[in-house]
Amino acid sequence: MASQTIVNKDNAYKKQSYAWYMVALMTIAYMFSFIDRYILGLLIEPIKADLGLSDTQIGLLLGPAFAIFYATMGLPLGYLADRAKRVSIVSIGIMIWSLATVASGFAQKFSHLFIARMTVGIGEATLSPCALSIISDSFPEEKRGRPIGFYTMGMSLGPAFAYLSGAAVLIWTKSMDLIQLPIIGALSPWQLAFIIVGLPGIILALFVYLLKEPKRPETHNPSKNINEGISTAMNYFYNRGWVLASFILPACVMTIIAYSQAWIPAMFERTWGMDPSRYAFINGILILCLGPLSNNAAGWMADYLTNKGYKDGGLRIVILGSVILIPTAVLAPLLPNPTLCFVVLGINLIGIAFTSSSALIALLKIIPADLKGISVAFYLMCISISGLLLGPTAVGLLNDYVFGVDGVRYSMSLVPLVFGVPVLFMIPFMRRYYLKEIDKI
């Protein structure tokens, strides 16, 4: 009997260890996805100079080009995540977005970059619906906050490594106009940066492909018909509009702010004359120090509140994150010097991490097992459309038509003010609907 107990404990330990190994790989993939998104923001000025682009065109590359397929492919891929082998879907997606990032390094004009960014969006749309479904099926509800918080740490690590790797490439190539590579020929430093950050994802795709698919819960019984499956999900979302709004609206504001911050390297250069490589190094270290800690803290805090009997533990962290996030986003660009701006941006980063991690925890708390993948896809579609279409594009338009290219700091302050303040006033009402939904479970 004692030996049987030891065997059971050993099996449970191995199962838990493998679950965390899957979480680690999904987190690395999430990190790589953000590296491939954020590297463009660091390279705005050299790309504009080489390709002759306007701020509005850069805004389109930073937002809509990526969002067109990242958002619209989400629902069918979420449908697949509830029915097909999730690790294979993720592996194919990583391969697609990594090759598209490499292809960005060979762009010769705006349309080339636009198509490459759209393809990156297609690949990255596969990740979170599958990854969060895998994580949810690998851990019990009361222990789900920490792995989800760990996974969303990729949202901090990705930009950090994007800035640090970008800084390294820019410093390395600072004295060069063109880099000569065998077979490929002459490349600009910004082109080489895309190639360098895209190649490692191809290897990661192979590791993910070798993962074992986790067992789905017994209650998992999704519709086999795609139209019926999506229709069922849409009816579910429609009937719970205010419930979902309780964490989706703050998350939408979070993405609008986060994606508009792709303009921050240009803001530091235009406002204070800071070299992009210096900005990238400082900001990369700042994100690396604060981001992962904040993402994990959000998961730990949500688990702690849940275990203490707070039914809306995840939502409480969403609210806390929003209260930190919005005022600091308005204030940071208006500060008189780069040092103060970095300090407030560090606080802003904590708000982004709290909101992004806990919104997913709040979502999975109320979603049935057979709708997890498509629900995550719907959530990502909402925040991506708002964040990517409104955030960077709004800043680019305000630069070109209102404040001028040197007034980018005012554009960046106005965007969170307009979109964020109304949501803060709506939070008490949205929380009421969320608590009523939990009572029905």
Residue % of the chain over a pLDDT of 90: 26
DSSP letters, 189-253, are HHHHHHHHHHTHHHHHHHHHHTSPPPPPPTT----SSHHHHHHHHHHHHHHTHHHHHHHHHHHHH
Write down the pLDDT at residue 309.
81
Mean pLDDT of 212-231: 66
C-alpha 22/C-alpha 5 separation (Å) is: 26
Write down the pLDDT at residue 343.
95
- Tokens 């911050």 locate to 261
Alpha-helical runs (H) found in 333-407? 338-366, 372-398
Q: Which residue has the higher pLDDT, 22 or 2?
A: 22
Q: Which domains does the chain have, with CATH numbers?
A: 21-210+236-440 (1.20.1250.20)
- Measured in degrees and rounded to the nearest 5, phi and psi for residue 260 equal -65, -25
Confidence of residue 7 (pLDDT cuts 50, 70, 90): very low
C-alpha 153/C-alpha 135 separation (Å) is: 14
Write down the pLDDT at residue 345.
94
Amino acid type, 378: F
Amino acid type, 380: L
For the chain, the average pLDDT equals 83
C-alpha 136/C-alpha 139 separation (Å) is: 6
Confidence of residue 224 (pLDDT cuts 50, 70, 90): low
At 186, which helix (H) or strand (E)? Answer: strand 185-187
Confidence of residue 279 (pLDDT cuts 50, 70, 90): confident
Write down the pLDDT at residue 176.
62
CB 408 within 8 A of CB 41: no
Q: Which residue has the higher pLDDT, 231 or 399?
A: 399
Write down the pLDDT at residue 240.
79
Residue 398 scores a pLDDT above 90: yes
Mean pLDDT of 259-275: 89
Helix axes 408-440, 241-260, angle to 10 degrees: 160
Confidence of residue 325 (pLDDT cuts 50, 70, 90): very high
Residue 227 scores a pLDDT above 60: no
Confidence of residue 231 (pLDDT cuts 50, 70, 90): confident
Q: Which residue has the higher pLDDT, 312 or 416?
A: 416
Over residues 107-141, the pLDDT tens digits come to 889 999 999 999 998 898 888 888 888 888 888 77
Mean pLDDT of 269-283: 87
Q: Which residue has the higher pLDDT, 356 or 156?
A: 356
Mean pLDDT of 298-322: 86
Write down the pLDDT at residue 174.
61
Write down the pLDDT at residue 334.
96
Task: Name the least confident of 38-42, 266-270, 347-351.
Answer: 38-42
Confidence of residue 427 (pLDDT cuts 50, 70, 90): confident
Amino acid type, 69: F
CB 156 within 8 A of CB 291: yes
Task: Name the least confident of 11-25, 85-99, 267-281.
Answer: 11-25
Q: Which residue has the higher pLDDT, 99 or 130?
A: 99
Confidence of residue 315 (pLDDT cuts 50, 70, 90): confident
Residue 324 scores a pLDDT above 70: yes
The model scores a pTM over 0.85? no
Q: How far is CA 207 from the centre of its chain?
A: 21
Mean pLDDT of 209-228: 69
Which is it for the CA torsion 67, 69, 73, 75, positive or negative?
positive
Q: Which residue has the higher pLDDT, 15 or 49?
A: 49
In 355-366, which positions are buried (b, 16+ CB within 10 angstroms) versus exposed (e)?
bbbbbbbbbbbb
Task: Name the least confident of 16-20, 184-188, 385-389, 430-434.
Answer: 184-188
DSSP three-state, residue 187: strand
C-alpha distances out from residue 47 to 51, 86, 194, 269, 389, Å: 6, 36, 12, 15, 20
